[in-house]
Structure 1
Amino acid sequence: MTKTTHTINRAASRELMKDFSLEMTGKDVPSLLEARPLIPLGTRINVTFLGNEDLEMRVAAAKSVREMGFVPVPHISARRLESEQRFREFLSRLQDVDAAQHIFAVGGDPAQPEGPYSDSLSLIHSGILQEFGVREVGIGGYPEGHPDIRKDVLWRALEDKSAALRDQGLDTVILTQFAFDTEPVAEWIGEVRARGINAPIRVGTPGPAGIKRLLGFARRFGVGANAMIVKKYGFSLTNLVGEAGPDNFVNDLAAVLADQPARKGPGLRGQVGLHFYTFGGLAETAGWARRFTGRQE
């Protein structure tokens, strides 16, 4: 792991923070209402597809996002769909509340599919998305790998999904899993572009969170609680009290990306932004984003 810390490039940090997106669960509508004054109108807000939430909760959350002036991006978990009928019902309900134009297709957690869809590519290949007005599909990216999936399999999946969406005339956004180190992220973005995939990329970034919780999520997703995480997020493993914010990570990533053209050729970065995993703290994350952006002026 690199230990390099780049000089802060405030203009690059401001640029990277433009049009960031947020994530919420179906249960987070009260939190979204609280955070509403802090979130720029038109912000994309992803609504997760969790096993302990039902259709009504997911649709109600997507509807609330739209009614508050934001852009809903509902998740669809392939392996959690019991049938094609359930898939169609969910999309139909989303269309009814004007929340079906942007979706995020993900395989999902269950080891065995609960219905006919084994992965997000099967959702794309179904041809059903377009029937309900879907125009853009988000797909997953893994800059720091996946604990259960080989790297070559991840690359093949990204290429196959990108090609399938292009062939179907659907726009693509790549949304990455949590990232904790900037150099692997920059290298991964370079590899994505080298493979001819030019879709916008949103780098998954943990919002401000309790340090113990942050490290717990890092371990869950196969990222070790090592010195790199400590340095990027500015805390000590000997003192796990308090919160850690992504200031260092965002500034460092912005500087690395701003330096990319000089290092590896023009146009490598392309469209890159941030997606914040909020851990239920929508107001905390939105407030942090406003303060952070203000400090870059």
Structure 2
Amino acid sequence: MNAPTAAPSLSRAEATAAFLRHQSVEITPKQIEKLALLRQHLVPGCQVFIALIDPADLSAQIEATRQLAAAGFVPVPHVPARFVRDEADLRDRIRALAGAGATTMLVLGGGAAAPIGCYDASIQLLETGVFQANGVTTIGLAGHPEGNPDIAKARGEGALLEALVQKQAYLKAHGLDGFIATQFLFEAEPVADWARGLRGAGIDLPIHVGIPGPATIKTLVKYAAMCGVGNSARFIRKQALNITKLLTVNTPDDFVADLAQIHFSRPELGIAGPHLYPFGGFDKLFDWLAQTSR
């Protein structure tokens, strides 16, 4: 993931279209059935993240990785620490994912209430050295611009920042490239404030910002509740209080345009691109991209 570069003078629409060219997309293993649609709408070399929400989907994640790599995309499988039993399990899955064509992986703690094995934090996976031993060259880290209530409750408000400092230090010490991919949210300014704090703490990894694709208010409320996103989701919940708006499709036009302005006007913040979640379905997402990227 490339850091933003200084840009010529662009209109808001032009900046948005240029910013969207740095997009990445997230799918689940089962959504590999949409591969033909991905090939139709995404350029070769686009990063496609493969979430692992259920530990039982590991074999499907490996197969999705293989198919995405064969189709010319850059597969980025999630590796959640809380879904890994032990180091032998980690070695087996990283070897399999690398063998399927993944050299970039997103290493995160995972959303499970309790770990199924001996790991509960991504740094524990990194410190095994298993990734670089299997040819992985780039590690993505999870970012939480609006915090993570579970981690803050257990370890204090500063734990997330401290963890990113530690993980960045590990990557640099071992010659690994890195980036941050954030949880999804709905407003740009909290991202800018958070990024400014990271830079002040010496974290210089490029940031890809999680953006919900076009979806109904009802769908966004469901995902916001599931993922625990914070303050910027309040306006979505307020919309949901109006029953007539529940089935209204919300598009991230203003959010993406604001991020594009930050990308080009404040390159020091390292807002590198949009990471798109197709909560409302791929058809809505790609129709919106086609209209917005003109």
Which AA in structure 1 matches 2:281? G
Q: 1:64 aligns to what?
A: 67
Check whether the contact 2:185–2:232 (CA below 8 A) recurs between aligned residues.
Answer: no
Distance 1:40 1:237, change over 3 A: farther
Counterpart in the other structure of 1:278: 278
Measure the CA separation in 2 of the matches of 1:161 and 1:292.
35
Compute the displacement of 1:247 (Å). Answer: 1.0
Partner Cα separation in structure 1 for residue 111 and residue 269 of structure 2? 31
Stretch deviating more after TM superposition (171-180 or 103-112) = 103-112
2-structure distance, mates of 1:246, 1:230: 15
Superposed CA RMSD = 2.4
- 1:35–1:286 Cα contact (<8 Å) kept: no
Maintained 8 Å contact 1:38/1:283: no
Which stretch of the first structure deviates more once superposed, 282-291 or 12-21? 282-291
**Do the aligned partners of 1:28 and 1:280 also contact (CA within 8 Å) in 2?**
no
For residues 202 and 218 of structure 1, the distance between their equivalents in structure 2, rounded to whole angstroms, comes to 19
- TM-aligned CA deviation for residue 55 of structure 1: 2.8
**After superposition, what is the alpha-carbon deviation per residue over 1:241-294, rounded to whole angstroms, capped at 9, x for unaligned?**
23211112111222344443xxxxxx4233521101113723432332222111
Amino acid at match of 1:216: K
**Structure 1, unpaired ranges of 5+:** 1-7, 261-266
After superposing the two structures, state which structure 1 stretch, 11-20 or 152-161, moved more. Answer: 11-20
Residue equivalent to 2:268 = 268
How many residue pairs get aligned? The number is: 279
2:212 aligned partner, one-letter code: P
Structure 2's unaligned 5+ residue stretches are 1-10
Identity of aligned residues (%): 35
Asked if structure 1 preserves the Cα contact closer than 8 Å seen for 2:209 and 2:273, the reply is yes
Q: Which residue does the alignment assign to 1:223?
A: 230
Establish whether residue 248 from structure 1 lines up as the match of residue 254 from structure 2.
Answer: yes
Give the alignment's TM-score, normalised by structure 2: 0.87
- Once the two structures are TM-superposed, the CA of residue 105 in structure 1 deviates from its matched residue by 0.3
Question: Are residues 85 and 212 of structure 1, via their aligned partners in 2, closer, same or farther at CA, if it must alter by over 3 Å?
Answer: same
1:139 equivalent in structure 2: 141
Letter in 2 for 1:293: S
In structure 1, distance between residues paired with 2:100 and 2:289: 28
Distance 1:224 1:198, change over 3 A: closer
Q: Residue 28 of structure 1: SS of its match in structure 2?
A: helix
Aligned residues of 2:263 and 2:270 also touching (Cα < 8 A) = no
The 1:252/1:79 distance shift into structure 2, 3 A limit, reads same
Cα distance in structure 1, aligned partners of 2:265 and 2:236: 22
What residue number does 2:24 align with? 21
- Contact 2:49–2:77 at 8 Å: present in 1 too? yes
Q: Structure 1 residue 64: deviation in Å?
A: 1.1
Give the corresponding residue for 1:116.
Answer: 118
Give the drift of 1:224: 5.5
Give 1:19 shift: 2.0
- For residues 286 and 129 of structure 1, the distance between their equivalents in structure 2, rounded to whole angstroms, comes to 33
Matched residue type, 1:246 = P
Residue number in structure 1 paired with 2:129: 127
Q: Cα distance, 1:32 vs. partner?
A: 2.6
Do 2:45 and 2:72's aligned partners in 1 also have CA atoms closer than 8 Å? Answer: yes
Superposition deviation, residue 155 in structure 1 = 0.8
Distance in 1 (alpha carbons) for counterparts of 2:271 and 2:221: 29
Query: For residues 134-169 of structure 1, what are the alpha-carbon distances to aligned partners after superposition, in whole Å with 9 as ceiling and x for unaligned?
Result: 000000111111122223111111111111111111
Asked if the contact 1:211/1:243 (under 8 Å) is kept, the reply is: yes
CA distance in 2, matches of 1:283, 1:165: 37
Q: Which string of whole-angstrom CA distances, capped at 9 and with x for unpartnered residues, describes residues 210-237 of structure 1?
A: 2201112123314368664489x9x966
Displaced runs of 4 or more, over 4 A: 224-227, 235-238
**Equivalent position of 2:173 in the other structure:** 167
Which amino acid in structure 2 is aligned with residue 36 of structure 1? R
Amino acid at match of 2:213: G
**Aligned with 2:268: secondary structure?**
coil
Q: Which one-letter code corresponds to 1:212 in the other structure?
A: K
After TM superposition, list the pairs within 5 Å mapping 1:195-234 onto structure 2.
Answer: 195-220=201-226, 221-223=228-230, 228-229=235-236
Inter-partner Cα distance in structure 2 for 1:271 and 1:182: 10
